[in-house]
Chain A
Amino acid sequence: MRSLIAVMALFLGLTASASEKPVAKIEFDRSTEAIHRGAEVVLNVCMGCHSLRYMRYQDLRFAGIAEPEITKLRGEHAPDDSLLSAMDDAAASESFGRIPPDQSTLAKAREGGANYIYSFVTSFALESDGSVVNRMKPETRMPDVLGYATSSGTDRAAIEGQIRDAAVFLEWASDPRAGERRTLGRYVIAYLILVTVLLYFVKRRVWKGIPS
């Protein structure tokens, strides 16, 4: 949709003015390993507050994560349990004033997807008055997780790598059937091209017999 609008803008010689801090364009590693690492980050860290209520533990198999690894990730939970946060809604509302947004559709729900999530989480900055504010979305209630993690002495670059993996995992989780869809799509398009070529020859042959 965005690119369609951009074409329209070109058509009119108009440009839209940006009002927010732009979403960074990052090269993500989208391998199964990265999604697996991201799953560990999301399940162990993000899910402290956020849920992924439309995801089930067994859905992780669609990402190509092996069965024993899934068993490790789900721990006490049943395979078809939803990925619910450890914090219940009442406690979350009390701590943050609202329920933290569900992450199962998060990457689809934000323009920019994984880029948005990574940019958002890494956009917290110390202001001159000593408060920590998110430059991309100042009104957010989310604390600076990157800041907390680095304050305990962990290397910032390593944490940023984890956030990238988490963003890739959330991108996958918002559309877990994407891999299956693209695979099937290639066959469908190939079949349609074949059929269309045949239909073209049928059409040509039929029209040869046209009465004049």
Chain B
Amino acid sequence: MGKRLVEWVDRRFPLTTFIKHELTEYPTPRNLSIWWTFGFFAGFMLVLQIVSGVFLAMHYKPDATLAFASVEHIMRDVNYGWLLRYIHSTGASAFFIVIYIHMARTLYYGSFRAPRELMWWTGQVLLLSLMATAFMGYLLPWGQMSYWGAQVITNLFRATPFIGDQVVIWLRGDFVVGDATLQRFFALHFLFPFLICGLVMIHLVALHFVKSSNPSGINLADKDNIPFHPYFTAKDFYGLGIFLIIFFYFVFFHPEYFIEEANNIPANPLVTPPHIVPEWYFLPFYAILRAIPDFAGGVVAMTLSIMVFALMPYLDRCKIPGGSRYRPVYRAMFLIFAIDIVALSYVGYEPPSETLAVVGQVATAIYFSLFLLLPFASKWEDQWLRKRGLPKPVVEMMESEQRQRAAGWR
């Protein structure tokens, strides 16, 4: 019966072919480490956020006079409403942790290099969409930090040349963040995740065309590939178990860890909190914004600090594969970059002071210098490493990749 049903479907829809091509015969490098699991985690977080979000939307009221109370209603009166809400609020942070590790892996192992530029760029669009979704979602609880965070961020669009003021009013639907803003942010916060699903499909189609990169940084010969299912389904679900233990530990035992205290006070347009901070995942970029004394300059720097990642395939001119693995200079730069991000986050969180302003400016300078330096450093590193003599396996890998390239990418 089952077999006949599958045959019936297969004559009308490529079900078996699809499963073969994408899972049971999809070749995956056998040396993928734990860092290659984070894409799977990100997909899982997207689903979890959509499911918990849809149920929250059944009880939430996008109205400036009711929003805060409806969140408290969810937390107190709705059956397991507290669980839905804490999964969703903790989920936002977990999503960004996963995405940032996913990006860090791509940068560390040089996975953005040819032929995976389009994966990197669709990833960049995904990051921007995720940031927009998170930012709009943060307004919905209608707490003090929600309100003033949205006020500050929408105000950044004032830097648009000539029509800045009009753009800000157009975004807010009012002269200040208000009921109109809340309602449109709710509508868009509901819409964006489905756009993200579509983008994820494109990201995955690109992935299944160029196949996974791997820690050696080079396309492997066929004998080094194993089918995705059952090997990586087994590995990914084991990883997911560990991830969920950590995630639910926060959901059940420290759910307020990622929520600012001030966001438990209802939004009040007449009282500005003494210190407005964005969510932790925006802190490095917020610090860059504040590091530039000029308003428009700060906005441009902040935008650049996010968009500059897209240039990575061109900034990195070293032809030696493996990202940081065989490249000490690139590895050092990656490490400095990681420390710099932590420093910027700290500066972004703390109230401004003279010392911190200097720290922020130095960290911002380091941030951009690393990207500016990369084309020269990578070129120099390439020549230096070749002169010093590359390890034999690396040379062999590069030769095999050259052969593959000559034969066409696939």
Contact = CB atoms under 8 A, between A and B. Distances in A.
Interface of A: 1, 4-5, 8-9, 11-12, 14, 16-17, 53-56, 59, 101-102, 104-105, 108-111, 174-177, 181-182, 184-186, 188-189, 192-193, 195-196, 199-200, 202-203, 206-207, 210-211
Q: Which of B86, B231, B238, B280 has the most CB of A within 10 A?
A: B238
A55 to B, nearest CB: 7
Contacts of B235: 203, 207
B76 A108 contact: no
Contacts, number: 115
B114 interface: no
B311 interface: no
B309 to A, nearest CB: 22
B216 to A, nearest CB: 18
Interface in B354-392: 355-356, 359
Contacts of A56: 76
Query: Which of the four size classes fits the interface of chain B?
Result: 35 or more
Given A1-B260, A202-B234, A181 B346 contact: no
B249 interface: yes
11 contacts: A14-B346, A17-B353, A55-B76, A105-B264, A177-B76, A182-B252, A185-B252, A188-B252, A199-B234, A200-B241, A206-B231
A200 B252 CA distance: 24
A109 B234 contact: no
Nearest to A185: B252
Interface string B217-247: 0000000001000110011011011101100
A55 B265 CA distance: 15
Q: Which 3 A-B pairs have the closest CB atoms?
A: A185-B252, A196-B241, A109-B264
B72 A193 contact: no
A177 B238 contact: no
Interface string B77-108: 00000110010000000000000000000000
Contact of A105 (B72, B82, B258): B72
Given A14-B346, A55-B76, A109 B261 contact: yes
A10 to B, nearest CB: 10
B264 A12 contact: no
A112 to B, nearest CB: 9
B342 interface: yes
A47 to B, nearest CB: 18
Contacts of B349: 5, 8
A203 B258 CA distance: 33
Given A1-B260, A14-B355, A181-B83, 18 more contacts: A9-B346, A14-B356, A55-B76, A101-B265, A104-B72, A177-B76, A181-B86, A185-B252, A185-B253, A188-B248, A189-B248, A199-B237, A202-B234, A202-B238, A206-B230, A206-B234, A207-B231, A210-B226
A211 B28 CA distance: 13
A196 B248 CA distance: 13
Given A188-B252, A202-B238, A12 B230 contact: no
Contacts of B241: 192, 195-196, 199-200
A189 B261 contact: no
Given A196-B245, A199-B241, A211 B226 contact: yes
Contacts of B359: 12, 14
B350 interface: yes
A59 B265 contact: no
A51 to B, nearest CB: 12
Contact of A185 (B248, B258, B265, B266): B248
Interface string B89-131: 0000000000000000000000000000000000000000000
Contacts of A193: 245
B243 to A, nearest CB: 9
Contact of A181 (B72, B82, B280): B82
A192 to B, nearest CB: 5
B317 interface: no
Nearest to B345: A8
B342 A177 contact: no
A12 B345 CA distance: 11
Contact of A1 (B240, B251, B257): B257
A56 B240 CA distance: 39
B69 interface: yes
A109 B252 contact: no
Contacts of B332: none
B329 interface: no
A188 to B, nearest CB: 5
Contact of B346 (A12, A102, A185, A195): A12
B148 to A, nearest CB: 14
Nearest to A116: B261
B262 A109 contact: yes
Contact of B342 (A8, A111, A199, A203): A8
Interface string B51-74: 000000000000000000100110
A54 B72 contact: yes
Contacts of A16: 350
Contacts of A108: 256, 261, 264
